[in-house]
Amino acid sequence: MDTAEEIKRRKLREMLARAGAEAADASPVEVSSEELEELLKRERAVLLDFYSEWCQPCRMLAPVLEELAAKLAGKVKIAKINANRNPEASMRYGVRGVPTLIFFRDGREVHRVVGFTPGEELRRLAEKLLVC
């Protein structure tokens, strides 16, 4: 039989694990081509940002995606992939310019946006296309 102290410790570990998972969902995750395929299989709703380090619109979009990830944590997984370092993913998804944002639902592309897009518009799109 568990003592009260053991129960408290177990509950605390569970709470910390949940908080860690929520924090991980609250910011974009960087993926490689290989990790991308696994992510699309695992997550129901994904907003994927193809970016390049030299791209000024990509830099402007980064804080917008951070904010969006926090607002949609637990509903939409936001991921980033460096288009230059992952050319096979760029070719597979037909990315010709950065930033390119691709919305996936159940592993399938449902919408695409090329170029900088304001945060409120991205939030509306994500909610409309991915959150049900």
Active site residues: 55, 58
* 55's tokens: 């791209």
Q: Beta strands 108-114 and 100-105: pairing type? A: antiparallel
- Tally of CB atoms within 10 A around 127: 14
d(CA 31, CA 20): 19
HSE (side-chain half, CA atoms, 13 Å) at 52: 13
